[in-house]
Amino acid sequence: MTTLTINGTTHELDVPDDMPLLWAIRDIVQLTGTKFGCGMALCGACTVHLDGEPIRSCTTTVGNAAGGKITTIEAMKEDPVGQQVQNAWLDLGVAQCGYCQAGQIMSATALLKQNATPSDAEIEDAMTGNICRCGTYNRIRHAIHYAADAMQEDS
């Protein structure tokens, strides 16, 4: 049995240690906000936080995630920065199909936690691993600045 702590809840899972965290989260724990897009850490749809760091859950094994604090999109509405990012996404109408946006929001939230006022170049650097096939990148960039501004106003 492997113990995973996801969004503050402890789960005892009977899965092999080499199972990617993504499939443990989606198929076993059945939290489906985290998406499968490529399986090779190329698209970022599966981004979650492990001890606060954005990681690709499709290439992080359950064995490597055990013992850490895993945070998924489902917990973002309880997270002060995550909330600002979600609000920015809604205010600016970022999402089109929406499938990649959980991963985008997880990457953006991690960025803003480390850098409250990122430049365009810093945003591109942090977000280049997240593909959006609908092409919402301009609004994502705008929304990250917008969330950063909202955080400044609140602080």
Partner 1 sequence: MTVSNDSLMIANVSRRRFLGGMAGASALVLAARWDMALASDEEKQYGAAGMPGGWVDDPNVFIQIDPDGSVTIINHRSEMGQGIRTSLVMVAADELGADWDRVAVQQARADQDRYGNQNTDGSRSMRHWYDPMRRAAASARMMLEQAAANEWGVPASECEAGVHEVAHKASGRTLGFGELAEAARELAVPERSAIELKPIEAHRYIGQEADPVRQRGSGNIERPMAIDGEEIVEGSATFGADIQFDDMVHAVIARPPVLGAKVASVDDSEALKVTGVEKVVTLDTNSEPAGFKPMGGVAVIASNTWSAMQGRDALKIEWDMEAAGDNARYNTDDYRQALEKAAQSPGKVIRSSGDIQKTLDGADQTIEATYYMPHMAQAPMEPPVAVVRLRDGKAQAWAPIQNPRAGREGLAGVLGLDKEDVTLNVTLLGGGFGRKSKPDYVLEAGLLAKETGGRPVKVQWSREDDVHHAYFHALSVDRLEGALDADGKAKGWRHRTLSPTITSLFQEDPEHKGGFELGMGFNTMPFDVPAIQLENPEAESHARIGWFRSVYNLPHAFAIQSFAAEMAEAAGKDHRDYLLELLGPARRIDPRDFGDSWNYGEDPSVYVIDTGRMRNVIETVTAKADWGRDMPKGRGLGLAFHHSFQSYTAIVIDAEVGDDGSVTIHNADIAFDCGFQVNPERIRSQLEGACVMGIGIALHSEITFREGRVQENNFHQYNVPRMEHAPKQVRTHLVNNDPELPMGGVGEPGLPPVAPAVCNAIYAATGKRIRQLPVNDQLAV
Q: What is the contact surface with partner 1 in residues (CB under 8 A)?
A: 15-16, 19-20, 23, 26-28, 30-40, 42-43, 45, 72-74, 76-77, 85-87, 89-93, 95-102, 105, 120, 123-124, 127-141
Least distance from C-beta 85 to partner 1, angstroms?
A: 8
Q: Which is nearer to partner 1, 68 or 129 (CB)?
A: 129
Least distance from C-beta 35 to partner 1, angstroms?
A: 7
Least distance from C-beta 130 to partner 1, angstroms?
A: 7
Residue 24 gets which letter from DSSP?
I
> Which run of H or of E encompasses 143?
helix 137-154
Q: Which is nearer to partner 1, 5 or 96 (CB)?
A: 96
What one-character-per-residue DSSP string does 31-66 give?
--SS--S-SSSSS-TTEEEETTEEEETTTSBHHHHT
Least distance from C-beta 21 to partner 1, angstroms?
A: 10
Token pair 């002060």: residue: 80
Q: Which is nearer to partner 1, 68 or 98 (CB)?
A: 98
Q: Which is nearer to partner 1, 10 or 153 (CB)?
A: 153
Torsion sign (Cα): 133, 139, 142, 148: negative
Least distance from C-beta 76 to partner 1, angstroms?
A: 7
The b-or-e profile of 123-143 (16+ CB within 10 A means b, else e) is beebbeebbbeeebbebbbbb
